[in-house]
């Protein structure tokens, strides 16, 4: 019987397999940031262990960093960032600190450097590591104990997850983006739908996505509960990688591409679970609740809890409407927002900024609007294209790179009761600041919303 | 980590689904560089509501959290596990867990127990009817017992053995150091390094 993409990549990385034990899996790349690593480095020190492969490890500062120029004012945040610097110096790990041209959100810089490649295993103490699966890598988030384990051994013991195919047939209509697609998928299968699985996104609509769109889709795999998300590498992938600083060169490039072309699910392979979706029926999609599965087409209304047959979902919807201060039956287009956030590892790449700029060109925003590039390189690219001028002319704030308002560990937060349209990945209670209310949207919907002050699709303008 | 064989304690019913790790420990608490003091951040936003179940003195000292489905979804922050343990929880029972949370729990010796949704509700109802209900979570026997009920749960042999012995994963893995070195010699030549 044939094998799936996930099975092929997994098998390639098994260091040791024994009856009744999890596989010991080799890790090709370990991404590190300041929040989930300090206790792991402490553990190494206490046990007198070195980092086994510093050359397969890279660190950046992203979660805590302010997006306005200047030092970190919060002393606790500053200590955390300084601790990362000390740890990277002590253990010999490459670090891209604040202000460095290579700094940025951890999941933006991996692909940008060409460190993320097909067929690899990639981990990070961050659940959105699933982003890297867009290249046909197995990439997943881990906790601090596992961060320490990878630092010490460059391996992880793990059971192979089940496999799920999400087949997206047909073409996305104009104006409907990768973000709308993944929000629709999560609404369909639920926040626990992918639990215990590695998802492979397949089908015509997926193949037609750019690498950046694919990253947006894989990024939110965790929001559907999946361990990881993957897309088989193809010419789009190779084209994106070629010439990047850490991509193979010369003869090695040819060897690599030949191998990468084998990284596809065999025609006779069988997935444990299959989900199908018709892309051509999709429209811009937004969330109304407090988990990413609570979403609906922008053209619809806030649902009534009574519509949910399952009592647990009904109770969750009731609670969500109360927290979000929304009434069932309200058209989603009538929801007024205070703040618009464009950025994050979900939508902080150059194509996302272009999509927002296209809407904002020649228009004015009526909300507080933060545009936060995902990395210093994205920022530079945007400025070379003049996108920063478009944003500033529209009245939006053009910021430095970082995670920013996605989780509000830096000063960019919502005030209690404040409502946002956000291109990030989580609408959990208090995610963007205590008492804040989040609607997840695409960059195009975010920009259109900033212009009208209400949830708006670009076509409405 | 502390070994876990069997534990008897009282249970707190948390009647919510999708208890994401941002609720278990909000991001503002993640700035610490130590491993201690996270109990103060446990459910810190929800605990501001006087009617939140953890504020009910009837459940003081309870050590088993019984939650609605999809507990521990979202962020990979192991701080969620530390906060639950440091607050005094040894076990979380739910019908479904977020994968990363569940993994992190077993690394730290906090036992995640999966029971069917209707059994979870039965246990929640028992703890609501009498907060003093003693619940035994028997990892050796793979069974949860309360009043006259006994319900078995599944956990793989390897994870159970590690938890019962309180074993350090890194120490276990380093016994395979030769295998790791051999694997490293055969890695594909084009794979990137960060240097």
Tell whether B156 lies on the interface with A, counting CB pairs under 8 A: yes
Inter-chain CB proximity B180 and A408 less than 8 Å: no
Residue A406 labeled ligand binder: yes
Does residue B192 belong to any structural domain of this protein?
Answer: no
Fold agreement between A5-262 and A285-452: yes
Q: Is A216 exposed, middle or buried (0-12, 13-18, 19+ CB in 10 A)?
A: buried
What pLDDT digit, counting tens, does each position of B96-141 carry? 999 999 999 999 999 999 999 999 999 999 999 999 999 999 999 9
Inter-chain CB proximity B184 and A248 less than 8 Å: no
Does residue B194 belong to any structural domain of this protein?
Answer: no
Tell whether B169 lies on the interface with A, counting CB pairs under 8 A: yes
Q: How would residue A447 be classed by pLDDT, with cut points 50, 70 and 90?
A: very high
Q: How would residue A397 be classed by pLDDT, with cut points 50, 70 and 90?
A: very high
Residue A345 labeled ligand binder: yes
* Closest alpha carbon within chain B to A75: B31
Residue whose entry in the numeric block shows the structure tokens 């099975």: A7
Does residue B195 belong to any structural domain of this protein?
Answer: no
Whether residue A246 has pLDDT greater than 90: yes
Residue whose entry in the numeric block shows the structure tokens 């894989």: A218
Summarize the confidence of residues B80-94 as an average pLDDT: 98
Tell whether B181 lies on the interface with A, counting CB pairs under 8 A: no
Whether residue B70 has pLDDT greater than 90: yes
Residue A59 near residue A95 (C-beta atoms within 8 A): yes
Whether residue A127 has pLDDT greater than 90: yes
State how far the Cα of A247 lies from the Cα of B70, in Å rounded to an integer: 39
Task: Looking at the complex, report in whole angstroms how far the Cα of residue B137 sits from the nearest Cα belonging to chain A.
Answer: 23
Does residue B95 belong to any structural domain of this protein?
Answer: yes
In chain A, where the domains are located: 5-262, 285-452
Tell whether B13 lies on the interface with A, counting CB pairs under 8 A: no
* Closest alpha carbon within chain B to A225: B98
Whether residue A2 has pLDDT greater than 90: yes
Does residue B104 belong to any structural domain of this protein?
Answer: yes
Mean pLDDT for chain B overall: 97
Inter-chain CB proximity A431 and B22 less than 8 Å: yes
Other CB atoms closer than 10 Å to residue A257's CB: what's the count?
A: 18
Question: With contacts defined as CB-CB under 8 Å, which chain B residues touch A253?
Answer: 190
A430 closest CB neighbour out of B26, B77, B191: B26
CATH number at residue B66: 3.20.19.10
Q: What pLDDT shows up at residue A347?
A: 98
A17: phi then psi, degrees, rounded to nearest 5: -130, 130
**What's the Cα-to-Cα distance from A114 to each of A28, A68, A276, rounded to whole Å?**
13, 28, 32
State how far the Cα of B96 lies from the Cα of B84, in Å rounded to an integer: 17
Summarize the confidence of residues A134-146 as an average pLDDT: 98
Q: Which structural domain range is residue B18 located in?
A: 6-186
Question: With contacts defined as CB-CB under 8 Å, which chain B residues touch A118?
Answer: none
Whether residue A85 has pLDDT greater than 90: yes
Tell whether B155 lies on the interface with A, counting CB pairs under 8 A: no
Residue whose entry in the numeric block shows the structure tokens 């989603």: A332
What pLDDT digit, counting tens, does each position of A298-352 carry? 999 999 999 999 999 999 999 999 999 999 999 999 999 999 999 999 999 999 9
What pLDDT digit, counting tens, does each position of A423-436 carry? 999 999 999 999 99
Question: With contacts defined as CB-CB under 8 Å, which chain B residues touch A256?
Answer: 188, 190
Inter-chain CB proximity A225 and B73 less than 8 Å: yes
Does residue B42 belong to any structural domain of this protein?
Answer: yes
Q: What pLDDT shows up at residue B2?
A: 84
Q: Which fold has domain A5-262?
A: Aconitase; domain 3 (3.30.499)
Q: What pLDDT shows up at residue A19?
A: 94
Inter-chain CB proximity B70 and A38 less than 8 Å: no
State how far the Cα of A258 lies from the Cα of B173, in Å rounded to an integer: 33
Closest CA to A153 of B164, B183, B3: B183
Task: Looking at the complex, report in whole angstroms how far the Cα of residue B112 sits from the nearest Cα belonging to chain A.
Answer: 15
Question: Domain spanning A285-452: which superfamily?
Answer: Aconitase, domain 3 (3.30.499.10)
Q: What pLDDT shows up at residue A1?
A: 86
DSSP H helical ranges for A130-210: 144-153, 178-189, 204-207
Q: What pLDDT shows up at residue A50?
A: 97
Half-sphere exposure of B185 (CA within 13 A, CB side): 6
Inter-chain CB proximity A149 and B169 less than 8 Å: yes
A21 closest CB neighbour out of B35, B117, B158: B158
DSSP H helical ranges for A398-438: none
| DSSP states of A164-182 | EEEEEES-PPTT--HHHHH
Number of domains within chain B: 1
State how far the Cα of A19 lies from the Cα of A162, in Å rounded to an integer: 18
Tell whether B32 lies on the interface with A, counting CB pairs under 8 A: yes
Q: pTM of this prediction?
A: 0.97
Q: What pLDDT shows up at residue B1?
A: 83
Whether residue B168 has pLDDT greater than 90: no
* Closest alpha carbon within chain A to B161: A21
State how far the Cα of A47 lies from the Cα of B145, in Å rounded to an integer: 38
């Amino acid at each position: 019987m044939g094998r799936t993409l996930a099975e092929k990549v997994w098998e390639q990385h098994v260091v040791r397999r024994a009856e009744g034990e999890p596989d010991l899996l080799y890790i090709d790349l370990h991404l590190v940031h300041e929040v989930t690593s300090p206790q792991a480095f402490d553990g190494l020190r206490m046990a007198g262990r070195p980092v086994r492969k510093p050359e397969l490890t890279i660190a950046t500062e992203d979660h805590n960093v302010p997006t306005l120029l200047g030092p970190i004012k919060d002393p606790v945040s500053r200590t955390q960032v300084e601790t990362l610097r000390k740890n990277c110096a002590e253990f010999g790990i490459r670090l891209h600190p604040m202000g460095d041209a290579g700094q940025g959100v951890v999941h933006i810089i991996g692909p940008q450097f060409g460190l993320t490649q097909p067929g690899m295993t990639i981990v990070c103490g961050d659940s959105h590591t699933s982003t890297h699966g867009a290249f046909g890598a197995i990439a997943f988030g881990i906790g601090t104990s596992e961060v320490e384990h990878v630092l010490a051994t460059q391996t992880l013991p793990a059971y192979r997850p089940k496999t799920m195919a999400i087949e997206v047939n047909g073409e996305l209509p104009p104006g409907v983006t990768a973000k709308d697609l993944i929000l629709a998928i999560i609404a369909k299968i639920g926040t626990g739908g992918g639990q215990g699985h590695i998802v492979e996104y397949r089908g015509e609509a997926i193949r037609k996505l750019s690498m950046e769109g694919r990253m947006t889709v894989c990024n939110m795999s965790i929001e559907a509960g999946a361990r990881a998300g993957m897309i088989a590498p193809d010419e789009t992938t190779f084209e994106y990688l070629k010439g990047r600083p850490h991509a193979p060169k010369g003869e090695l490039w040819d060897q690599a591409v030949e191998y990468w072309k084998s990284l596809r699910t065999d025609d006779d392979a069988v997935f444990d679970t299959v989900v199908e979706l018709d892309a051509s029926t999709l429209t811009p999609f937004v969330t109304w609740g407090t988990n990413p599965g609570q979403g609906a087409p922008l053209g619809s209304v806030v649902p009534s809890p009574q519509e949910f047959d399952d009592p647990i979902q009904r109770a969750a919807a009731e609670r969500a409407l109360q927290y979000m201060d929304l009434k069932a039956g309200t058209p989603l287009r009538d929801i007024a927002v205070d703040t618009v956030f464009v950025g994050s590892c979900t939508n902080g790449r150059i194509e996302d900024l272009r999509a927002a700029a296209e809407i904002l060109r020649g228009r004015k925003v009526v909300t507080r609007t933060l545009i936060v590039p995902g990395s210093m390189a994205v920022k530079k690219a945007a400025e070379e294209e003049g996108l920063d001028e478009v944003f500033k002319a529209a009245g939006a704030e053009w910021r430095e790179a970082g995670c920013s308002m996605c989780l509000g560990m830096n000063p960019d937060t919502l005030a209690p009761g404040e409502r946002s349209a956000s291109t990030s990945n989580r609408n959990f209670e208090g995610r963007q600041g205590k008492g804040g209310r989040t609607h997840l949207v695409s960059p195009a919907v975010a920009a259109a919303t900033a212009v009208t002050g209400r949830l708006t699709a670009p076509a409405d303008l | 980590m502390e070994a876990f064989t069997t534990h008897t304690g009282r249970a707190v019913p948390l009647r919510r689904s999708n208890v994401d790790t941002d609720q278990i420990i909000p991001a503002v608490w993640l700035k610490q560089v130590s491993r201690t003091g996270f109990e103060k951040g446990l459910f810190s936003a929800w605990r501001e509501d006087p009617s939140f179940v953890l504020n009910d003195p009837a459940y003081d000292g309870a050590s088993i959290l019984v939650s609605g489905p999809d507990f521990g979804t979202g962020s990979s922050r192991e701080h969620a596990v530390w906060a639950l343990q440091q607050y005094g929880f040894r076990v979380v029972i739910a019908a479904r867990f977020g994968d990363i949370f569940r993994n992190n729990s077993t690394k730290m010796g906090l036992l995640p127990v999966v029971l069917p949704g209707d059994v979870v509700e039965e246990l929640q109802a028992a703890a609501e009817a009498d907060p003093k209900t003693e619940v035994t979570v028997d990892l050796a026997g793979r069974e949860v017992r309360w009043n006259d009920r006994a319900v078995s749960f599944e956990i793989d042999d390897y994870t159970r053995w590690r938890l019962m012995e309180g074993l350090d994963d890194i120490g276990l893995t380093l016994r395979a150091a030769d295998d790791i070195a051999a694997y490293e010699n055969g890695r594909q030549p084009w794979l990137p390094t960060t240097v």
